[in-house]
Amino acid sequence: MWKIDKTYRQELAPTFDRLFDKLKRLNKHRPLSTGALQKIKEVLFVEWTYNSNGIEGNTLNLRETQLVLQEGITIKGKSLREHFETKNHEAAIHYLYRLVTKNYKLCSKDILALHGLVMRSIEDEFAGRLRNGGVRISGANFIPPNAIKVSQLLEELIVFVTVNPLQLNVVEMATVFHHKFVWMHPFFDGNGRTVRLAMNLLLLKAGFPPAIILKNDRKKYYEALNQANKGNYQKLMLVMCQALERSLNIYLSALPNSDEDYQSITTIVNEPEVPYGQEYVSLLARQGKIDAHKEGRNWVTSKKAIIDYMKSKN
């Protein structure tokens, strides 16, 4: 279960370096002002809830999610379950942040508690409880293990995270944890939302902001999980890195005297210092080779990101 093909490392090494460099920059400015931090969290909590629920089929849009969470408004034409999913996810995020301390260690009790919050008032019979029967996942290229094995497999995964025998960095570990959790599928329902919360326990403890996988990347995300089932982690590592970089960029852009200037690729390629066309810069962004992130369906980057890439090639 724990053999990991690390061939992705050569390709993603510059991306990992960029993420950890950004974390160092962020740490230099900590603690952030209470006002700035609260504003960032308000935005991210709404986006996190909207995207994670949306991946699972919740039809509330971003604005409707904000209204439910911040204004307490009931959205006409949306199901009661979708409203519960929205409020529950926010409650789970708040619980997650209360858990994370410098000496925090991942444990099954906390994962079960997160699942209990995610599924509260939706499937109370199974909320916070491991499955006791078989499941099949639509569109997946594997069958999850027998329910009898789930408890032991979850504990083995937690030991793997704690001991880190393969000496993975925290981004790699969060990615492997994410995949192995989805593979074992420990709950009847709510696995995706729970793991997209739980993986961030690892990242937040290390000082990173939460990695938020976007609803617009749903197809790419599921394809990446299927590739990981075959032992190829390249695509899933990239999905995680891009999700994390977006959150890092949001934090860094909010710092005093920030020089972050992210613009659409269409705008960037018109800069005289940028010798590349839109198609090539878009490819670099998708491959994680430049500092870039998605806003909605569109990639944004900066002139500095292109210049840094050009320097790395010289």
What residues act catalytically?
Answer: 185
Neighbours of 41 (CB within 10 A): 16
Whole-number Å distance between alpha carbons of 228 and 163: 22
Q: What string of H, E and C letters represents the secondary structure of the chain?
A: CCCCCCCHHHHHHHHHHHHHHHHHHHHHCCCCCHHHHHHHHHHHHHHHHHHHHHHCCCCCCHHHHHHHHHHCCCCCCCCHHHHHHHHHHHHHHHHHHHHCCCCCCCCHHHHHHHHHHHCCCCCCCCCCCCCCCCCCCCCCCCCCCCHHHHHHHHHHHHHHHHHCCCCCCHHHHHHHHHHHHHHHCCCCCCHHHHHHHHHHHHHHHCCCCCCCCCHHHHHHHHHHHHHHHCCCCHHHHHHHHHHHHHHHHHHHHCCCCCCCCCEEHHHHCCCCCCCCCHHHHHHHHHCCCCCEEEECCEEEECHHHHHHHHHHHC
Q: Using the structure block, give the residue that is written with the tokens 């998708």.
A: 286
